[in-house]
Homo-oligomer: A and B are copies of this chain.
Amino acid sequence: MPTIKDVAKQAGVSVATVSRVLNKKGYVSKEAEKAVSAAIKKLDYRPNAVARSLYHKTSGMIGLVLPDISNPFFPELARAVEDVALAYGYTVVFCNTDEEVEKEQKYFEALKQKYVDGIILSTSSQEQEAYHQLDLPLVALDRILGENIPTVVSENRKGAELAATHLLDNGCRHLAHLRGPEGVGPADERYEGFMEVVRREKIPYIIKNAGFDMEKAKQTTLKLIRSNPSIDGIFAGSDITAAGAMHALAILGKKVPDDVKVIGFDGIPLGSMLVPGLTTIEQPIYKMGALAARLLIKQIEKNPHDKIYHELPVKLIVRGTTEEVKNDWKSDGSREH
């Protein structure tokens, strides 16, 4: 690979001049510029990003730290981050932590040593303190890490209220909530939203912990329905656990939505693939990722942004698990409310 020196020699100028035309900075005569451009083209020269990094202490890379890309909520988020990053000329380093402090810490080290320009965090295994100490531009995505860290989340609580209300509106009189892991922000908020509604409406309810895991949700639902056969509406904390519940209901011979209605949360593609289609609270996943990336890049490039807390709207998507869908008038069989 040719270096800036080669280009300078080829063009008959100094490296400084080459650098100037490369960065469009400082005075360069038309002729010099032409000579340099020609040399660059002739040698097929590209500036060495590492050398630039060393000088500028920036790398054009951002870290994306999330629990596990295999969890279907994250691919779309990751994709959004990457799209925006690419558009702004950044590159994404991809870090799965499984919510393990150790891995997270290891990655933070590695990322800092590589001069990443900032980090998007969808995990929260550590104390707020640890993130502040990073001393890097940060954005919290789908998690709340602390007061002064820019944050992108969706309306988890309101979504849960919508979900519970939707079940009631459709005639359910005995609800269950398969809640996500305790201590994980969105799961807790969904739980609270659900509680708000059942308490206000004085509806009998049961809460079961199902994590965000399909198999666990299935087993939990089997037990739940066997011991509480009168349950006629299930609000699952995620679309994955909703799928688990549906499996359990199928095994028990319960018809969905006739005997039991099911609603999920997230709006991942899975929901539309299930038969019947899964009614769910849709988060604007792509938008969340894209916004997080934009906020991070603004921070990196020192364009101050006004708001630091961004809560994006959720939307009830009605499909077959809560309502008989008679005809196929919209291609994916879903409706927005």
A residues adjacent to B (C-beta < 8 A): 1, 46-51, 53-54, 59, 61, 64, 68-70, 72, 74-76, 78-79, 82-83, 86, 91-96, 103, 106, 109-115, 214-215, 218-219, 240, 243-244, 246-247, 250-251, 269-270, 272-277, 328, 331-333
Whether B91 pairs with A93 at a CB distance below 8 angstroms is yes
Across the interface, do A113 and B275 meet the contact criterion of CB distance under 8 Å?
no
Within 8 Å CB of A103, what residues of B?
A: 86
Residues of B within 8 A of A76 (CB): 70
- Which of chain B's residues has its CB closest to A85's CB? B94
Q: Which of B46, B50, B69, B250 contacts A275 (CB 8 A)?
A: B250
Chain A interface mostly: helix
The quantity of this chain's copies bound in the complex is: 2
Residue pairs across A and B with Cβ atoms less than 8 A apart, 15 shown, are A46-B112, A46-B113, A47-B113, A50-B50, A64-B94, A70-B75, A70-B76, A70-B269, A74-B75, A75-B75, A86-B106, A91-B114, A94-B94, A270-B270, A273-B274
Q: Are the CB atoms of B92 and A94 closer together than 8 Å?
A: yes
Provide the bound-state CA to CA distance between A79 and B103, in Å.
14
Contact A50 B114 (CB under 8 A): yes
**Chain B, Cβ-Cβ closest to A82:** B96
Question: Across the interface, do B275 and A246 meet the contact criterion of CB distance under 8 Å?
Answer: yes
